[in-house]
Amino acid sequence: MASLKELKGRIASVKSTQKITKAKQMVASAKLRKAQAAAEAARPYAHRLERVMASLGSKVAISDSSPKLLAGTGKDQVHLIIVASSDRGLCGAFNSNIVKAARVKARELEAAGKTVRFYLVGRKGRAVIVREYPKQVDGYFDTTALRSQGFAEAQSIAAELIAMYERGQFDVAHLFYSKFRSALVQEPVGKQIIPVAIPTGDAPATNAAMEYEPDEEEILTELLPRNVTIQIFGALLENAASEQGASMTAMDNATRNAGELINDLTIVYNRTRQAAITTELIEIIAGAEAL
């Protein structure tokens, strides 16, 4: 059995851990509200862009002359996997879930004989991927210096990706991030962002007499890179909200566990103290009787 002094030390250390997890939990819940609001504010634009894309997509036939972002490179060999993770830890299995989803996809593609390359956003996912696929990482976008990931970052990521695509460094790009369902549920998802998939079904039927300025093709050409940017921006925002949600949940659990541990340790501490007092008393009484 541990001595009284040791027990006291352990209780103190668990208490200070609990303070940290509690603080982190409160910070996360405050940040979550902000991140969630940002993610919601970005939805109208994404929604409308999708509608416009859908109505354009139904007009323009895919041919050899259509932009590469839409028609693809004609090959399906090199796949780029973009993994968006967070920069900070203390958020439970958030990052490892994203990485796991990306890895499953990578294995699947490799089993099918494809070449897999990686492009990484965020610090936490980086270490794992670099360790596993040291020679296959093509790029890394550093977000550690930023307080929040905004549209400008999404733009520079998209610009870099499109430049890589134009140089023929990959044929298909998949983006992996965590979708925010609620503070308790974050779902790692992967979707193809290049070549751009034209959303279907939502196209308004009454736009037969739509006029275009300049013309459909040119508008589409301008729209496609923007679509990639928006997809990435949306992913970054979802990720930010998910990270805070995951962090909040994980820290809530940690705080509760620390509380339980403190209770258990306190009981052991009190018992031990009581036992020590009893032993001491018996010794004194026995000593007095012997006289």
Partner 1 sequence: MALQFELVTPEKLVRSEAVHMVVVPGSEGEFGVLEGHTPLMSTMRNGLVMIYKTDGAQPETIAIEGGFAEVNERGLTILAERVIG
Residues at the contact surface with partner 1, assessed by CB under 8 A: 38, 41-42, 44-46, 48-49, 52, 56, 150-151, 154, 204, 206-207, 209-214, 218-219, 222-223, 226, 229-230, 233
Smallest distance from partner 1 to CB 159, Å: 13
Task: Closer to partner 1 by CB, 49 or 109: give it.
Answer: 49
Smallest distance from partner 1 to CB 171, Å: 27
**Side chain identity at residue 245, one-letter code:** G
- Among candidate residues 78, 91, 101, 116, the one labeled active-site is 91
Smallest distance from partner 1 to CB 52, Å: 6
Buried/exposed code over 128-166 (b: 16+ C-beta within 10 A; e: otherwise): bbeeebeebbbbebebeeeeebeeebbbebbeebbebbe
Task: Closer to partner 1 by CB, 84 or 154: give it.
Answer: 154
Task: For CA atoms 189, 192, 193, 197, give the dihedral sign.
Answer: negative
Q: How far apart are CA 166 and CA 12, in angstroms?
A: 59
Say which residues have a Cβ less than 8 Å from residue 31's Cβ, sequence separation at least 6: 244
**91 among known catalytic residues:** yes
Contact criterion met (CB below 8 Å) for 236 and 149? yes
Alpha helices of 58-140 — where are they, by DSSP H?
68-71, 94-111, 124-132
Q: How far apart are CA 69 and CA 197, in angstroms?
A: 9
Smallest distance from partner 1 to CB 208, Å: 9
Task: Closer to partner 1 by CB, 193 or 246: give it.
Answer: 193
Site of tokens 């208490």: 15
Smallest distance from partner 1 to CB 149, Å: 12
Task: Closer to partner 1 by CB, 26 or 152: give it.
Answer: 152
Task: Closer to partner 1 by CB, 38 or 93: give it.
Answer: 38
Q: How far apart are CA 2 and CA 251, in angstroms?
A: 29
Please list the active-site residues.
91
